[in-house]
Amino acid sequence: MSNRRLTFKKRLHILKHHFRDKKMAPAFAAFHTFLFTPDETTHSGAHVRGADDLKRTMNMVILALVPVLLFSMFNAGYQHYAAIDVANNVSRELSLWENFLTWDNFWIGIIKVLPLVVVSYGVGLGVEFIFAIIKGHEVEEGYLVTGMLVPLIVPIDTPLWMLAISVIFGVVIGKEVFGGTGMNILNPALTIRAFLFFAYPTWMSGDKVWVYEAVERTGTADAISGETVLGALAQNNLAELNYSVSDMFFGFIPGSVGETSTFLILLGGLFLVFSKIASWRIMLSAVIGSLVMGYIFNVIVDMGIITEYSNFYGLMSFEYWQHLLVGGLAFGIVYMATDPVTGSQTNRGKWIYGFLIGFLSVMIRVFNPAYPEGVFLAILLMNVFAPTIDHYVVKSNIKKRLKRLKNATILPKDSDSKAEELKAETV
Amino acid sequence: MLEHIELFFKSIFIDNMVFAVFLGMCSYLAVSKKVATAVGLGAAVIFVLAVTVPLNWLLDQYLLRDGALAWLGPEFADYNLSFLSFILFIATIATMVQLVEIVVEKFSPALYNSLGIFLPLIAVNCAILGGSLFMQSREIATLGLAFNYGVSSGIGWFLAILAIAAIREKIRYSNVPPPLRGLGITFIITGLMGIGFQSFGGMLTGGSEEEAPVLEKTAAAKVEEVEVKENKKEIDEKEISYNDAINK
């Protein structure tokens, strides 16, 4: 086995040298490095060997996303059958082994979630390959994570052609025009979702798109629907909410494909923090920001400024810490806000950036009735302002250091003059 | 107080001069290469807007709008000079900019030097005239609100040019495809920033609806009642005339 593999590897190396300077070289090299470590070695200068190159970084994030993806495949089926039961007035008790982790649920995940993943990767990587071949540079790994994030943040019934179009838009306008991976100013996955949201709003919100087959069955005898928690709250439908806190925490609720399970997202986030891929500063400050904003709203409700008849009552009276359990807030904080390219890059900037993301997310949720799922917009907005934050943080650091330098240069002079005085005295 | 806060927030984020109505694009695109100069221009825009919008509000209130001349005497009450608003507004702006320039040059040469060419440039910045015209068309009620509107829409413009200047400094070393370098990529960035600012689109509309449904209901109910009454009257009259006809 190992012998055959070696020869395959060697053959690939030879093929690669054969393809060098040809037009398809970047595409070939991409597949080659995907399978094996390249055989090229550097020839000059000093080098640091780091295991955490771009490919490894991306793979770590994908690893952190795999549990979320698997859960979402089961949840897709579970929500479908749960909605049917609700439509037929059958009460349903959640039990992990009997009606959640079943083959039926998983099958719906396979036929609905997997195509989203395949289309996202196929179209996105296709665009990347075309650009790499035209521009003659190596294929970059930047799309690996984006391609995994995109299917997880769209509603389950998103038509595949819509996804394909918005992926093309996101990769070309959001990333390639800036020069490819690492140069973009907005998170590509969120650009894709924003494009979907504003181009096809009927497919991105409402009470039909979150459950498999709900759109197709509209108007028929066996119509089903599934409102997200936030959607129900935004319309003050407090009575319709029959999800317990543990349901929300473990993710047995309708929502975008992968955003529901706060528990698994939390595990993924811890994994990313301990492998030092994602910034714990951004995560922590975003959580604090959303808690602060949610708490302010709770206080406003408690003071009686907002009454039950207000449009904002549903979301404002929602317990402040539960904001983290519903909608895309947790997913956005862990996987989107921490994007090292588009986020703030200075340590102090990260605190400000994260805090404002959490703060604005909850604010948009409450105040903007059009976008109860406004987390992605808050992150995009802060992506826009991240360079500004960085600019001023760097500037203030420069000022501080100049001051320190000044003090440092003045002190020896003082001591010199003192020394001279001493000399004069002794003389 | 609440309406001041609402107007302030609204004109900075929701009706942002650059991302919602795309005004003041020329200087926004031209002077956003460095953060320092962008800050200078943005500050100048805030200042000029804060001065010209209240001034134009006074002009509009006491000279231009339909019936504004009533304070001169009842025979002037029918005049409507609003067709002059463009010319008067721009004249005010040009004069104010010139005046401000002279004053600043005299009393604070340092600020004058740092603002440089931007101060006279502002006279032709469409965000400034736009501010006055929006003030007119949105029928802002008081002088205080007009001042608030001027300052806050200036701050919105300032934030926009600050953000894009920082982004342009950041992407200076990016490998942007040659045909897009310069203005092309700046337009694309502006569009993407517009998507980010969409997060505020339609925000706070719930705030006005909060009381509106009740009012609307009563209004609608009143209209209905009136209609019903009128219908009844008509029916009664018809019946009466019918009866009269029979009787005759």
- B157: three-class secondary structure by DSSP: helix
Does residue A20 share a domain with residue A59? no
- Judge contact between A373 and A260, C-beta under 8 A: no
Residues of A with CB under 8 A from a CB of B: 135, 173-174, 177-180, 183, 185-186, 191, 194-195, 198, 310-312, 360, 364, 367-371, 374, 377-378, 380-381, 383-385, 387-388, 390-391
Q: Can you tell me which residue has the tokens 């949201």?
A: A197
**Residue A415 resides in a domain:** no
Domain ranges of chain B: 2-202, 207-248
Q: How far apart are CA B26 and CA A275, in angstroms?
A: 46
**Residue A322 resides in a domain:** yes
Q: Is B171 within 8 Å of A380 when comparing Cβ atoms?
A: no
Q: How far apart are CA A2 and CA A5, in angstroms?
A: 5
> Which residue among A368, A380, A388 places its CB closest to the CB of B196?
A380
Decide which of A302 and A95 is more confident: A302
Q: Is A384 within 8 Å of B35 when comparing Cβ atoms?
A: no
Q: How far apart are CA A324 and CA A331, in angstroms?
A: 9
> Rounded to a whole number, what is the distance in Å from the CA of A104 to chain B's nearest CA?
38
Does residue A156 share a domain with residue A12? no
- Say what the pLDDT of residue A415 is: 56
Q: How far apart are CA A321 and CA A222, in angstroms?
A: 36
> Which residue among B188, B195, B209 places its CB closest to the CB of A177?
B188
Burial of B242 (0-12, 13-18, 19+ CB in 10 A): exposed
How far from the centroid of its chain's Cα atoms is residue A196's Cα?
A: 16
Among A361, A351, A353, A350, which Cα is nearest to A384's? A353
For the cut 80, the answer to whether the pLDDT of residue B13 exceeds it is yes
pTM confidence score: 0.81
- Say what the pLDDT of residue A252 is: 84
Q: What is the pLDDT of residues A4-42, one digit of tens each?
A: 556 777 777 777 777 777 777 777 777 777 777 766 666
Does residue A249 share a domain with residue A357? yes
Q: How many residues does chain A have?
A: 427
Q: Is B196 within 8 Å of A377 when comparing Cβ atoms?
A: yes
B221 band by pLDDT with thresholds 50, 70 and 90: very low
Q: How far apart are CA B96 and CA A288, in angstroms?
A: 46
Q: What is the pLDDT of residues A219-270, one digit of tens each?
A: 666 667 777 777 777 777 666 666 778 888 888 888 888 888 889 999 999 9
Residues in chain B within 8 Å Cβ distance of A378: 199
- B169: three-class secondary structure by DSSP: helix
**Residue A42 resides in a domain:** no
Does residue A325 share a domain with residue A223? yes
Q: How far apart are CA B24 and CA B27, in angstroms?
A: 6
**Residue A217 resides in a domain:** yes
Among A192, A200, A180, A168, which Cα is nearest to A336's? A192
Q: How far apart are CA A230 and CA B229, in angstroms?
A: 44
Q: How many residues does chain B have?
A: 248
> Which residue among A185, A311, A370 places its CB closest to the CB of B171?
A185
Overall average pLDDT of the A114-118 stretch:
92
> Rounded to a whole number, what is the distance in Å from the CA of A311 to chain B's nearest CA?
6
Q: How far apart are CA A38 and CA A138, in angstroms?
A: 13
Among B151, B131, B152, B158, which Cα is nearest to B57's? B131
Residues in chain B within 8 Å Cβ distance of A192: none
Q: Is A183 within 8 Å of B167 when comparing Cβ atoms?
A: no
Decide which of A132 and B226 is more confident: A132
Residues of B with CB under 8 A from a CB of A: 35, 162-163, 166-167, 169-171, 174-177, 180, 185, 188-189, 191-193, 195-207, 209-210
Contacts of A247 (CB under 8 A, 6+ apart): A94, A253
**Residue A9 resides in a domain:** yes
HEC string of chain A?
CHHHHHHHHHHHHHHHHHHCCCCCHHHHHHHHHHHCCCCCCCCCCCCCCCCCCHHHHHHHHHHHHHHHHHHHHHHHHHHHHHHHHHHCCCCCCCCHHHHHCCHHHHHHHHHHHHHHHHHHHHHHHHHHHHHHHHHCCCCCCCHHHHHHHHHHCCCCCCCHHHHHHHHHHHHHHHCHHHCCCCCCCCCHHHHHHHHHHHHCHHHHCCCCCCCCCCCCCCCCCCCCCCCCHHHHHHCCCHHHCCCCHHHHHHCCCCCCCCCCCHHHHHHHHHHHHHCCCCCHHHHHHHHHHHHHHHHHHHHHHHCCCCCCCCCCHHHHCCCHHHHHCCCCHHHHHHHHCCCCCCCCCCHHHHHHHHHHHHHHHHHHHHHCCCCCCCHHHHHHHHHHHHHHHHHHHHHHHHHHHHHHHHHHHHHHHHHHHHHHHHHHHHC
Does residue A67 share a domain with residue A31? no
A427 band by pLDDT with thresholds 50, 70 and 90: low
Q: How far apart are CA A175 and CA A187, in angstroms?
A: 9
Decide which of A332 and A366 is more confident: A332
Does residue A144 share a domain with residue A285? yes
Overall average pLDDT of the B50-60 stretch:
90
- Give the number of domains in chain A: 2
Residues in chain A within 8 Å Cβ distance of B175: 179-180, 183
> Which residue among A135, A312, A384 places its CB closest to the CB of B196?
A384
> Rounded to a whole number, what is the distance in Å from the CA of A25 to chain B's nearest CA?
20
Q: Is A179 within 8 Å of B169 when comparing Cβ atoms?
A: no
Contacts of B138 (CB under 8 A, 6+ apart): none
**Residue A45 resides in a domain:** no
Q: What percentage of residues in chain B have a pLDDT greater than 70?
A: 80
Residues in chain A within 8 Å Cβ distance of B176: 177-179, 183
> Which residue among B162, B177, B202 places its CB closest to the CB of A177?
B177
**Residue A424 resides in a domain:** no
Does residue A322 share a domain with residue A193? yes
Does residue A261 share a domain with residue A291? yes
Residues in chain B within 8 Å Cβ distance of A183: 171, 174-176
Q: Which two tokens stand for residue B48?
A: 């000029």
A355 band by pLDDT with thresholds 50, 70 and 90: very high
Which amino acid, one-letter code, is at A94?
L
**Residue A277 resides in a domain:** yes
Does residue A245 share a domain with residue A118? yes
Q: What is the pLDDT of residues A300-319, one digit of tens each?
A: 888 877 766 676 777 777 88
Q: Which two tokens stand for residue A423?
A: 């000399």
Q: What percentage of residues in chain B have a pLDDT greater than 90?
A: 15
Handedness of CA B223, B226, B229, B235 (dihedral sign): negative
φ/ψ of B203, rounded to 5, equals -70, 155
B222 band by pLDDT with thresholds 50, 70 and 90: very low
> Which residue among A173, A367, A374 places its CB closest to the CB of B204?
A367
Q: Which of A185, A310, A356, A383 to mutate to test the interface with B (most CBs of B within 10 A)?
A: A185
Neighbours of A80 (CB within 10 A): 23
Handedness of CA A6, A7, A13, A15 (dihedral sign): negative
> Rounded to a whole number, what is the distance in Å from the CA of A3 to chain B's nearest CA?
42
The DSSP code sequence of B25-38 is HHHHHHT-SSHHHH
Q: By residue range, what is the domain housing residue A65?
A: 54-393
Among B140, B138, B160, which Cα is nearest to B46's? B160
Q: What is the pLDDT of residues B111-151, one digit of tens each?
A: 788 777 777 778 778 888 888 888 888 888 889 999 999 99
- B161: three-class secondary structure by DSSP: helix
Q: How far apart are CA A222 and CA B23, in angstroms?
A: 51
Q: What is the pLDDT of residues B86-122, one digit of tens each?
A: 898 989 899 888 887 888 888 878 778 877 777 777 8
A-B contacts (CB, under 8 Å): 102
Decide which of A296 and A311 is more confident: A296
Residues in chain A within 8 Å Cβ distance of B190: none
> Which residue among A183, A369, A384 places its CB closest to the CB of B174?
A183
Overall average pLDDT of the A382-390 stretch:
92
> Rounded to a whole number, what is the distance in Å from the CA of A221 to chain B's nearest CA?
34
- B68: three-class secondary structure by DSSP: helix
- Say what the pLDDT of residue B166 is: 92
CA-derived radius of gyration, chain B: 26
- Range in A133-142, A249-258, A270-279 with the lowest mean pLDDT: A133-142
Q: Is A194 within 8 Å of B195 when comparing Cβ atoms?
A: yes
For the cut 80, the answer to whether the pLDDT of residue A81 exceeds it is yes
Q: How far apart are CA B166 and CA B32, in angstroms?
A: 8
Q: Is B177 within 8 Å of A368 when comparing Cβ atoms?
A: no
Does residue A158 share a domain with residue A23? no
Among A22, A223, A34, which Cα is nearest to A133's? A22
- Say what the pLDDT of residue B108 is: 79
Does residue A227 share a domain with residue A80? yes
For the cut 90, the answer to whether the pLDDT of residue A98 exceeds it is no
Among B94, B104, B88, which Cα is nearest to B124's? B94
Chain B residue with the nearest C-alpha to that of A341: B170
Residues in chain A within 8 Å Cβ distance of B35: 388, 391
Chain A residue with the nearest C-alpha to that of B202: A368
Q: Is A173 within 8 Å of B192 when comparing Cβ atoms?
A: yes
- Helix, strand, coil % over all residues of chain B, rounded to 5: 80, 0, 20
Among B154, B124, B121, B120, which Cα is nearest to B50's? B154
> Which residue among A177, A374, A388 places its CB closest to the CB of B180?
A177
Overall average pLDDT of the A369-394 stretch:
87
Q: Is A191 within 8 Å of B176 when comparing Cβ atoms?
A: no
Q: What is the pLDDT of residues B164-217, one digit of tens each?
A: 999 999 888 888 888 888 888 999 999 999 888 887 776 665 444 343 333 333
- Range in A85-99, A238-252, B224-238 with the lowest mean pLDDT: B224-238
Q: How far apart are CA A209 and CA A213, in angstroms?
A: 8
Residues in chain B within 8 Å Cβ distance of A374: 199
Does residue A75 share a domain with residue A19? no
- Say what the pLDDT of residue A239 is: 60
Which amino acid, one-letter code, is at A342?
T
